[in-house]
């Protein structure tokens, strides 16, 4: 333990003396959060839909088919209750939920207006949410027009005439479609990914370039102690940066953590360790600091920004890029941060979709980095 502490003090002293590292640690998270804290728009494609059909009539099935017949919506789940439908939205299984009342067919036949509840995930990209709402309203309006034509025939027989379907669209989690509420929880994982990769990889490659790694190897210190001594300071630094970004998010953008703060911090520590492990792996195949930066940026950071779901929906990605994104722990960690911060979701709700995959990939990269570091040394 004393030997690990000695390496940690050496690393902390270097950080303190190096202005570039201090800027990377202190300035980068705040600058990126401020510059990128406003929404990036995109088009909605392949909108997944869940339905609760309490009517189970020909009319209700025809209404649902209006949505599935379009190229924008696909029916993924038929839920049994509104609570189940909200859970499916909460865990990112569906983007839209439609709740058809039991009296749907009966009210239409009687010429009464039917109120259909439509739930939209407001924690997604605000532009996507607004586009989805417009498409929902358009399709619901077309369905109403078809039924209205039939009612015109009945009106001649003395029956009352009313707009058949009142599609009440309710946006969950982000009713105002605020772009900052969507972007801030997504930027935090990306910024942490950039920091951990660059700090860990450059710290080890720098030792090799300066010739100090050989001096450490000949000491009685074990390789795993050397590695832990190098990365533990950056673990604490990234935790401090995470707390700083959460504070800035609440102070400047009014984005507060709605879910369990302890779960968010615990899973963040696991993600940071996994990302530091990825940085160590990159250092093992890099001959210089410049090479470490290039590999970090082009193999992990840029794919993380594009493929993690920060800007674009992963559902519309080709299968190759989708599965590549699954190999990056930041993809699942981003879903976790949005779930806990925006929706107030518990980690166990996201257990199989995000929590377990993120923890498994982070542990894999961290353990692999230990073995790779020992072999390379």
Same domain, 52 and 132: yes
Average pLDDT over residues 130-137: 75
Integer Cα distance of 45 and 42 in angstroms: 9
Average the pLDDT over 126-152 and give the result.
70
* Domain of 300, in residue numbers: 2-35+179-376
Nearest to 182 by CA among 341, 358, 46: 341
Task: Please indicate, yes or no, whether residues 231 and 367 belong to a single structural domain of this protein.
Answer: yes
Closest CA to 63 of 26, 16, 99: 99
Cα(226)–Cα(369) distance, integer angstroms: 12
Q: Which of 65, 40, 135, 61 is nearest to 95 (CA)?
A: 135
Which of these three, 115, 149, 172, is where a domain ends? 172
| Interval 13-29: pLDDT, tens | 777 777 766 766 767 67
C-alpha span between 207 and 215 (Å, rounded)? 10
Per residue in 80-124, pLDDT tens? 898 899 889 888 888 899 999 998 888 877 777 788 888 888 776
Q: Would 119 be classed as within a structural domain? A: yes
What pLDDT, on the 0 to 100 scale, is given for residue 176?
63
Residues 97, 85: Cα–Cα separation, whole Å: 6
Domain membership of residue 83 (yes or no) is yes
DSSP H helices, 211-260, are: 212-217, 223-253
Report yes or no on 331 lying in a domain: yes
User: Is residue 345 a part of any domain in this protein?
Assistant: yes
Residue 225: pLDDT band (50, 70, 90) is confident
User: Are 156 and 265 in the same domain?
Assistant: no
> Is residue 37 exposed (0-12), middle (13-18) or buried (19+ Cβ within 10 Å)?
middle
Alpha-carbon distance of 299 to 294, in angstroms, equals: 8
- Of these ranges, 114-123, 225-234, 269-278, 290-299, the one predicted with the greatest mean pLDDT is 269-278
| Residue found by looking up tokens 């923890």 in the block | 359
The residue from 148, 172, 196 where one domain ends is 172
Cα-based distances in Å from 20 to 23, 28, 146, 201: 5, 11, 66, 15
Asked if 245 and 272 count as a contact pair (C-beta separation under 8 A), the reply is: no
In a domain, 41, yes or no: no
Whether 40 maps to a domain, the answer reads no
Pure H helices in 41-125: 58-68, 82-90, 104-110
Question: Does one domain contain both 222 and 254?
Answer: yes
Q: Tell me the range of 91-95, 148-152, 311-315 where mean pLDDT is highest.
A: 91-95
Domain match, 205 and 330 both? yes
Looking at the 3D structure of the chain, how many domains does it have?
2
Same-domain check for residues 354 and 205:
yes
pLDDT at 31 over 90: no
For residues 313-324, average pLDDT? 83
Q: pLDDT tier at 164 (50, 70, 90 boundaries)?
A: low
Coil/strand/helix, residue 73: strand
In a domain, 101, yes or no: yes
Whole-angstrom distance, CA of residue 126 vs CA of residue 176: 9
pLDDT (0 to 100) of residue 126: 66
Span 258-274, pLDDT tens digits:
999 999 999 999 999 99
Based on the domain organization, do 80 and 197 belong to the same domain? no
Q: Are residues 291 and 353 in the same domain?
A: yes
pLDDT of 319 higher than 50: yes
Q: 240 and 356: one domain?
A: yes
111, 141, 172 — which closes off a domain?
A: 172
Is there a single domain that holds both residue 239 and residue 274?
yes
In this structure, the answer to whether residues 129 and 30 fall within a common structural domain is: no
Query: CATH no. for residue 82?
Result: 3.40.1710.10
Question: Do residues 313 and 42 lie in contact, with contact meaning Cβ atoms separated by under 8 Å?
Answer: yes
One domain, residues 78 and 130:
yes
> Which DSSP state fits 314?
G
- Answer yes or no: is 340 within a domain: yes
**Which residues neighbour 138 within 8 Å (Cβ) at sequence distance 6 or greater?**
none
């Amino acid at each position: 333990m004393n030997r690990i502490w000695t390496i940690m003090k050496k690393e902390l002293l270097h950080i303190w003396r190096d202005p570039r590292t201090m800027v990377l640690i202190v300035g980068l998270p705040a600058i990126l959060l401020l510059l990128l804290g406003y929404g990036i728009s995109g088009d909605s494609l392949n909108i997944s839909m869940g339905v609760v059909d309490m009517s189970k009539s020909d009319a209700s099935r025809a209404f649902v088919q209006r949505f599935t017949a379009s190229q924008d919506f696909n029916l993924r789940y038929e839920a049994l209750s509104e609570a189940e439908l909200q859970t499916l939205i909460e865990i990112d299984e569906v983007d839209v939920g439609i709740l058809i009342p039991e009296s749907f067919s009966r009210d239409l036949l009687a010429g009464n207006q039917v109120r259909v509840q439509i739930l939209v995930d407001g924690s997604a990209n605000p532009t996507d949410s607004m586009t989805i709402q417009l498409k929902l309203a358009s399709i619901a309006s077309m369905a109403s027009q078809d039924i209205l034509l039939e009612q015109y025939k009945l009106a001649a027989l003395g029956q009352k005439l009313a707009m058949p379907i009142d599609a009440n669209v309710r946006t969950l989690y982000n009713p105002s479609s605020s772009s900052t509420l969507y972007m801030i929880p997504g930027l935090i994982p990306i910024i942490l990914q950039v920091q951990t990769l660059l700090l860990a990889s450059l710290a080890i490659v720098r030792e090799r370039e300066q010739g100090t790694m050989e001096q450490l190897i000949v000491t009685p210190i074990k390789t795993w102690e050397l590695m832990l001594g190098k990365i533990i300071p950056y673990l604490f630094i990234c935790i401090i940066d995470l707390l700083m970004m959460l504070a800035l998010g609440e102070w400047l953008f009014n984005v507060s953590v709605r879910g369990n703060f302890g779960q968010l911090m615990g899973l963040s520590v696991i993600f940071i360790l996994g990302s530091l492990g990825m940085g160590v792996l990159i250092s093992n195949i890099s001959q210089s600091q410049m090479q470490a930066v290039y590999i970090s940026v082009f193999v992990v950071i840029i794919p993380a920004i594009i493929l993690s779901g920060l800007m674009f929906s992963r559902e519309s990605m080709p299968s190759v890029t989708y599965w590549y994104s699954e190999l990056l722990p930041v993809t699942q960690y981003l879903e976790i941060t949005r779930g806990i911060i925006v929706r107030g979701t518990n980690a166990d709700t996201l257990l199989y979709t995000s929590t377990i995959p993120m923890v498994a990939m982070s542990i894999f990269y961290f353990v692999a980095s230990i073995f790779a570091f020992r072999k390379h040394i």
